[in-house]
Amino acid sequence: MSDDNLTIRTENLTRQFGKLVAVDRLNLAVPRGTIFGFLGPNGAGKSTTINMLVGLLPPSAGTAQVAGFSILDAALEVKQRIGVVPEGLNLYERLTVSEQVELVGRLHGLSRAELRQRLPSLLELLDLKDSANKMILDYSAGMRKKTALACALVHVPEVLFLDEPFESVDPVSTRAIKNVLRDMVAQRGTTVFFSTHVMELAERFCDQVGIINRGQLVATGSIDELRARTGLGEEAALEDVFLRVVKADVAVEQDEELLGWLTGSGAGAERVETNHAG
Ligand SMILES: Nc1ncnc2c1ncn2[C@@H]1O[C@H](COP(=O)(O)OP(=O)(O)OP(=O)(O)O)[C@@H](O)[C@H]1O
Ligand SMILES: [Mg+2]
């Protein structure tokens, strides 16, 4: 595929924290107008990758282009074209959702008139109208996540980077957000790059996925391609593909041995009962 069609391209993108290589020579290519799911176990390097791509964290080595611009040489051009829900959300606690979205919108050069038109529909979409006058300080986890999403959407970015966007968000809002994102992809060619642990979500929502494990990209492609590559049947769930790719099945078996004291099976369970009796 020619580079013109790629919205995100990383070239040996690497980040070290001391001796730990959190992201190890990552080479990713995400075509324009794709919903790309970035999957991996806890600590695999998903957030570190996203943070480098959006300019929150400098890479230790390698580079990337986002929306046609280098994250190293043209960080401002990149930031103008992206919307981000970072892992830590980075919200101003003492603003209301409207103030927070207005602030982000103004920083992106939107006029007050444009914001007046966009804000009510965003609050409606995210079901935040009734809480619009509360400070973010008083928001629930899901309301915070939705506020961050409103900020990521208000300037209609070419590329969305969403780190666990649906975590803590209720099913009604999740459905509404997914529908809007799908429309943006279909009608505007928006690219959505998001991380998740929820395999059912990735399975239904993504055009392509990438699986990262211990900092390394271990699989990438459509879910059908991954099924074929792992030798699992056409009907295999993405969860099984994921477990196969990150070789986690072994760990699950081991847990049954090790956790007898907790699950009530095996020798460990007897020990706990003995203690009770004694
Ligand atoms: N600022 C930091 N300083 C030191 N180590 C860090 C820092 N940020 C991340 N790490 C380490 O880098 C590795 C990757 O972390 P990262 O947050 O990217 O994982 P993740 O895939 O997003 O995990 P999760 O699914 O739990 O969100 C982990 O081992 C983590 O401890
Ligand atoms: Mg993370």
In this predicted model, what pLDDT tens digit does every residue of 80-110 receive, in sequence order? 999 999 998 889 999 999 999 999 999 999 9
Is residue 193 predicted with pLDDT exceeding 60? yes
Distance, in Å, from the CA atom of 157 to the CA atom of 53, rounded to the nearest integer, reads 14
- The binding-site residues of ligand 1, defined as CB within 6 angstroms of any ligand atom, are 17, 20, 22, 40, 42-48
CA-to-CA dists, residue 231 to 38, 175, 245, angstroms = 21, 32, 11
Q: Would you call 61 exposed, middle or buried from its count of C-beta atoms within 10 A (0-12, 13-18, 19+)?
A: middle
Predicted model pTM: 0.91
- The 10s digit of each residue's pLDDT in 220-252 is 999 989 888 888 888 888 888 888 888 865 555
Give me the half-sphere count of Cα atoms (radius 13 Å) on the Cβ side of residue 15.
22
Q: Give the C-alpha distances (Å, rounded to integers) separating 76 from 66, 69, 228, 264.
A: 11, 9, 40, 56
User: Of the candidates 194, 149, 206, 203, which has an alpha carbon nearest to the alpha carbon of residue 173?
Assistant: 149
In angstroms, how far is CA 193 from the centroid of its own chain? 7
Which of 46, 87, 89, 216 for mutating ligand 1's site (highest number of atoms within 8 Å of CB)?
A: 46
Q: Is residue 31 pLDDT above 80, yes or no? A: yes
Which fold, 3-236? Rossmann fold (3.40.50)
d(CA 257, CA 245): 23
Q: Domain boundaries in the chain?
A: 3-236, 248-278
Distance between CA 180 and CA 67 in Å, rounded?
Answer: 21
Nearest CA to ligand 1 atom 24: 42
What pLDDT does residue 258 have?
Answer: 78
Which residues are in the CB-under-5-Å shell of ion ligand 2?
46-47, 87
pLDDT at residue 271 in the model: 58
Bridge partners, 69 (sequence order): 66
Report which bound ligand comes closest to the CA of 86.
Answer: 2
What is the arithmetic mean of pLDDT over 204-226?
93
d(CA 108, CA 155): 7
Q: Chain-centre distance of CA 8, in angstroms?
A: 14
pLDDT of residue 256: 66
